[in-house]
Chains A and B, each alone.
Chain A
Amino acid sequence: MSATTVAAAEQPVTTGSRLAAVLRLNTVDLRGRVGGPWVILAAIFAVNFAIWWAIRVNVDDAGAGTTGAVSALFFIVGSTYLIAMTQVMPFALSLGLTRRHFYGGVSLLLAVETLFHALVLTALLGIERATDGWGIRMDFFSMSFIPEQNVLLQVLTYWGPLLTIGLVFLAVGAVFRRWGQFGVWTVMIGLVLVLGAITFVLTWQNAWPAFGSFFVETPIPVLMFGYPMILAAVAVVGGYLVVRRARV
């Protein structure tokens, strides 16, 4: 074997180096990656602010300024991770990365990225509250049914759903990688049937009041972080089991 043979100088392959490569593959355009969702959210904010400003100018008592617009961020995060599975993963596997490292690395990135979003949202919520809804009593960052609480719990309240939705989208992406469009449609139809069955049972048993009181009585951290984490765990484990036999 020649001294310049590339195989001869091979370096050890560590999990860390592989995960770092996966992170890099998903963040080559870091500015667009991190900035993109916030630019979109800023645009939504501007539109909502203009509308509520106009309402407050014309109507004395227009009620609470609830927008719910912050949920857009959930879907931006979700779609980003769907793309990670549909577009980035085939490229990653061509470069010799394993499914395990790719899925693990992307899940790790998701956890960090959504925590970052949760921290920024908490900070903006602080400003919103301090300025009495940006001076026009607009609830943009608050999810109105969640009462005031301490900062840590507020971060978890944002992080739990963001992380969960991201992992669910990642799992859907795993289904796409394994079974293609057909698999995604099957999952969607299955989901519709399950939700339909739950609705049917609740209606049949006249159990809607009990269902409603569950949401009211469950402590917010459990409802917004505890239960989502169960779904998150199911999504991440299920997604991995699906993707480990995926072809690209």
Chain B
Amino acid sequence: MKTLEISGLHKQFVDSYTDEVVTAVGDVSFAVEQGEFISVLGPSGCGKTTVLNIVAGFEKQTDGSVLVGGREISGPSPERGVVFQSFALFPWKTVLGNVVFGLRMRGVPRQEREPIARQYLDLVGLEGFERKFPHELSGGMQQRLGVARVLANEPEVMLMDEPFASVDAQTRRKLQEDLTGIFESKRPTVFFVTHDVDEAVFLSDRVVVLSSRPSQVNEIVTVPLERPRDWRSVLDDPDFRHTVTHITDLLSGDESRVVQADLDSA
């Protein structure tokens, strides 16, 4: 069953300074199966975050449709939880309070909330930090909390917008491995936006490669790697290197076309 179906997605907006009409998303269509990890990859400024924002319900598309579980989406909803690059935690709530928030909003009875929240804090490795405030955690731990907060709501699809872009390289590797572990044990449906090719290939079942603006789907690459995955074995895997090279070629070919187009127009 298709959990998420995006078809003919198109987004234009008017630049408020120049009054120019800018096309952020040209024509994007793809579908995500239930329990699938899919990454959206593209050159910077290609509108991949715009696609995520539309799926999240933060922005409205100009044309096309987004179906979740077969129903047209309207506005933000807990069925599409978002993990942000900026973490976007509630600084005035404790770690536990942050995870419980979604459950409270959805009207889960009080006595059930805490056990559920603790279960997800354990899952991301934050047990023992329940009473801390977010600013007392490291960046990596803050993003673990961001993941736990979304997963506790058991969304149809978890949307992740470059979630590890603002943590240091070492922590990022660890977080990617842990996310893979969580994915392999819980099998949530994940829609992951990134500009890091290695990251996309390591994490995903399939990678949607977008062309530069106005974005279209260039190719959907299936990642031929076995699960469970970890960085040590994946880095040695020729399939991994091959997939990364292929996607890098797709992206750079696109870039040289852009450069050529710029030269032509100049």
Q: Do A and B bind each other?
A: no
Task: Give me the interface of A with B, judged by CB distance under 8 Å.
Answer: none
Please list the residues of chain B having a beta carbon within 8 angstroms of any beta carbon in chain A. none
